[in-house]
Amino acid sequence: MPGAAAETDELAREVAEAESGPQLEDKRTGRSPGQIAWHRLKQDKVAIVCTMVVLFFVLVAIFAPLLTSLQAVDPVTGAKADPGTIHTELVDLNGFPKQGITSAHWLGVEKGIGRDLFARWVYGARPSLVIGFVAAALSTIIGVTMGLLAGYLGGVVDRIISWVIDFFLSLPFLLIVIAATPIIELRFGARGTLTAEQTSNIRFWLIIALLVLFGWMGLARLVRGEVVSLREREFVQAARAIGVPTRHILFKEILPNLVGPIIVSASIAVPAYITAEATLSFLGAGLVEPTASWGRTIADAQNSFQSYPLWLWPPVIGISALVLALSLLGDSIRDAFDPTTRR
């Protein structure tokens, strides 16, 4: 086992240090709690497998054009497939594809308008991942800032921020998003004046904004609670007695002690946001054509599941695998940061 060997090495070095006495310069540096967590994570098999799965999807999203171009030239259309091009010549009069899996269409073509499903699938990974990670990053930043301010400054600031948190938590998320999306869309131009691409683009950022707007409160509450208890700890008092400026105390003294909960919260938020995006797209309040989205594809495909299951399965498997991997990874990260789990 490589881990055991490394430990033996470390032990041997410690013994050597002890024997050679204090005159030997001690270059060994201590390990921070973050380093310990990282070390634990590297030994967690589930975490490694999940990281690989997530990495697979990230690579699929990045190299989507390349992967699509790997498909052969279609003998009927005489061109390589891409996610947007409509090929009505590939479907029959009832809308059903004339062919199944071919070298030109690895996952067949869409029912009705004959777009290439493999291209739709690899491009569909893009909005999921981008929305998931961007929304998680933004809501983490907002949540941490709000929590720090409320917890450390206390008083009126705390009361206002806590009230806002309670207010947002009490709003019905799904209802508001479904109702607000078309209304906000109208702000950018009257119905019919926007191109499909523009609408899709607006929807994309709107989803991120709404997910962040309704997603920062949990972390803000968590951070606020932690800060309230850390604020009274003696090392914060010591920093104040030394004359360390407040901004410094917040970000250099208190924030490093919150790295664990923040990373855990962010890693749990990513799969939640990916699911939320797929759900909204499925319900019609999320991404719209022509952007490829797994949630949209599922919504379109579910009506024909009995007659054409191949349409539905790839996005379902994609979402399930990605969210499962991210969730398990989040659990592993939480375990790695938890001082009470010993492995």
Bridge-partner residues for 116, per DSSP?
A: 109
Shortest Cβ distance from residue 223 to another protein (Å)? 15
Sorted by sequence, the CB contacts under 8 Å of residue 214 that are 6+ apart come out as 168, 171, 173, 176, 177
239 part of the interface to another protein, by CB under 8 A: yes
Shortest Cβ distance from residue 238 to another protein (Å)? 6
Shortest Cβ distance from residue 32 to another protein (Å)? 6
Q: In terms of Cα–Cα distance, which of 23, 111, 126, 27 is closest to 67? A: 126
Q: Kindly tell me which of 30 and 192 has the beta carbon lying closer to another protein.
A: 30
251 part of the interface to another protein, by CB under 8 A: no
244 part of the interface to another protein, by CB under 8 A: yes
Out of 240, 279, 290, 304, which residue is the one contacting another protein (CB under 8 A)?
Answer: 240
CB atoms within 10 A of CB 80: 16
Q: Kindly tell me which of 226 and 300 has the beta carbon lying closer to another protein.
A: 226
Q: Kindly tell me which of 105 and 231 has the beta carbon lying closer to another protein.
A: 231
Q: What is residue 70's DSSP assignment?
A: T
19 part of the interface to another protein, by CB under 8 A: no
13 part of the interface to another protein, by CB under 8 A: no
Out of 167, 188, 235, 251, which residue is the one contacting another protein (CB under 8 A)?
Answer: 235
Sorted by sequence, the CB contacts under 8 Å of residue 271 that are 6+ apart come out as 132, 322, 323, 324, 326, 327, 330
243 part of the interface to another protein, by CB under 8 A: yes
155 part of the interface to another protein, by CB under 8 A: no
211 touches 280 (CB < 8 A): no
Out of 5, 20, 21, 26, which residue is the one contacting another protein (CB under 8 A)?
Answer: 26
CA distances from 53 to 46, 141, 243 (A): 11, 26, 48
> Which three-class secondary structure state does DSSP give residue 116?
strand
At 172, list the tokens: 């019905």
Out of 44, 110, 253, 277, which residue is the one contacting another protein (CB under 8 A)?
Answer: 253
Residues that bind another protein (CB under 8 A): 22, 25-34, 233-235, 237-246, 248, 252-253, 256-257, 259
